Structure 1
Amino acid sequence: MALRTLSAKSAAALDQELMSAGAFSIDQLMELAGLSVSQAVFKLQPLNQGKRILVACGPGNNGGDGLVAARHLFHYGYQPTIYYPKQSKNELYQRLTKQLKDLKVPFTEDFPSALKETDHIVDAIFGFSFSGDVREPFPKVIEALRDTKIPVLAVDAPSSWNIEDGPPGSGPGKGFMPEALISLTAPKPLVKWFEGRHFLGGRFLTPEMAEKYNLELPKYQDLDQIVEVNIEGGKL
């Protein structure tokens, strides 16, 4: 099915409304997002095809989604490794980090070496609120994601992409086209330039909230928290 997209401004407004009128906490939304990401990994990288998952996390909410996903992946039977060079001092992120360390999930500061020892990568560096220049240490990480032959799943946005205008024309993200993308809550305009497999994770919106933001609620199957989708006007 094809779905309409939600601008960065509207996506931010929807998140705020979910945490006010919708009565969701940020912890709940991050848990739902990370659960959706973990299910997308399971669809793309079955356990019998390789259990090693490298999760690259940025300092914001996108990175938090990656931390939650890694915890779920561990419990599914995968072997996640976390690259999280700009660890937030926010109490929520510290709790998510501790949960992983309690499970003995390894953290690494050596991204190139970790890249050589993984079967799949989760790009949870920058999400829909990203703007401006890519700052250290992420330029070389994004270049490595662009150049690797290992499949990459991007969370909400391929890192360095402009949310409205898609892939950058220059810089470390030029030419970066992950194998898969999972949009959280609703697709963003950048998906019109995306050429890989596209999933949506948003099985918690009320029909009233979806109608207010002119969103279509897809039909999720059975217990799935994600659904593979098409985009109106896109290339898929």
Structure 2
Amino acid sequence: MAFKTLGAKAAAALDKELMSSGAFSLDQLMELAGLSVSQVVYRVHPITKGPKILVAVGPGNNGGDGLVAARHLRHYGYQPTIYYPKRPKNELYQRLTKQLEDLNIPFVDDFPDALKSADHVLDAIFGFSFSGEVREPFPAVINAMAETKIPVTSVDAPSSWNIEDGPPSEGVGSNFHPDVLISLTAPKPLVKHFKGLHFIGGRFVAPSIAKKYDFDVPEYEGLDQIVEVEAAGQKL
């Protein structure tokens, strides 16, 4: 089956619905999203390939998903390192950060330098709400991810990509093509431009809500929070 995509406005409305009539808290949604992200990393990059995961964290909810994923990865036995240059004052993000500090997970200020010793990169900078230009200090980070030979997994959207139209035609991110993408809840229209390994994660949506927003809930197996689909939207 081909999976229907969810545009930026619909994705934002869905989030509001999940937190109102759906009765989820933002903490819950972020925890479930981050858990699914951690399972993708575990699937595509077993710890035997190298334990060092560099997590690039943005200032919004996409970054929060990355912080949660890093905590789970640490408990799986990986050695995550966090690049988190723009930290919001919001209490939720402060708690997620404290949880990582309590696990002695290092935070670094120099992304290109940290990249030299990484085995895998998790791109949790910008999600479906991103639009406009990439502001400092992220242009150099996205360029570094575009140029590295180290595999990159992006959360919900490759950072800098337009949710509808995919990679920018020029400038920052125009040559950024991550190896792996995990679409949260449902794929976004940009997936038609994505050629790597594609997963859907977010095993919590009620059928009634999926029907209202006209997207498909994939068939998750066993304990899995993720399902692999072809980049073109076909299930493998």
| TM-score band, normalised by shorter chain | over 0.9
- List alignment gaps of at least 5 residues for structure 2: none
- Which deviations, in whole Å up to 9, do the C-alpha atoms of 1:11-37 show, x marking residues without a partner? 000000000000000000000000000
Partner SS for 1:2: coil
Q: Using the alignment, how far apart are the partners of 1:147 and 1:231 within structure 2?
A: 21
Aligned 1:139-150 pairs, distance under 5 A = 139-150=139-150
Partner SS for 1:123: strand
Aligned 1:48-127 pairs, distance under 5 A = 48-127=48-127
Q: Using the alignment, how far apart are the partners of 2:228 and 2:25 within structure 1?
A: 26
Q: Using the alignment, how far apart are the partners of 1:106 and 1:232 within structure 2?
A: 37
Instruction: Measure how far apart 1:233 and its partner are.
Output: 6.8
Contact kept? 2:201, 2:225, Cα under 8 Å: yes
RMSD: 1.2
Instruction: Measure how far apart 1:2 and its partner are.
Output: 2.3
Partner SS for 1:176: coil
Partner SS for 2:54: strand
- Residue 130 in structure 1 maps to residue 94 in structure 2: no
- Residue 206 in structure 1 maps to residue 217 in structure 2: no
Aligned residue-pair number: 235
Structure 2 residue aligned with 1:14:
14
Aligned 1:34-49 pairs, distance under 5 A = 34-49=34-49
- Residue 190 in structure 1 maps to residue 195 in structure 2: no
Percent identity at matched positions?
71
Structure 2 residue aligned with 1:175:
175
Contact kept? 1:3, 1:230, Cα under 8 Å: no
Show structure 1 runs of 4+ deviating over 2 A: 230-234
Instruction: Measure how far apart 1:112 and its partner are.
Output: 1.1
In the superposition, the TM-score normalised over structure 1's length comes to 0.97
Larger deviation, residues 145-154 vs 166-175:
166-175
Q: Using the alignment, how far apart are the partners of 2:35 and 2:233 within structure 1?
A: 28
Q: Which amino acid aligns with 1:136?
A: E
C-alpha distance 103-6 of structure 1, shift in aligned 2 (>3 A): same
In the superposition, the TM-score normalised over structure 2's length comes to 0.97
Structure 1 residue aligned with 2:228:
228
- List alignment gaps of at least 5 residues for structure 1: none
Q: Using the alignment, how far apart are the partners of 2:28 and 2:192 within structure 1?
A: 29
Q: Which amino acid aligns with 2:102?
A: D
Contact kept? 1:3, 1:231, Cα under 8 Å: no
Contact kept? 2:143, 2:172, Cα under 8 Å: yes
Q: Using the alignment, how far apart are the partners of 1:231 and 1:22 within structure 2?
A: 29
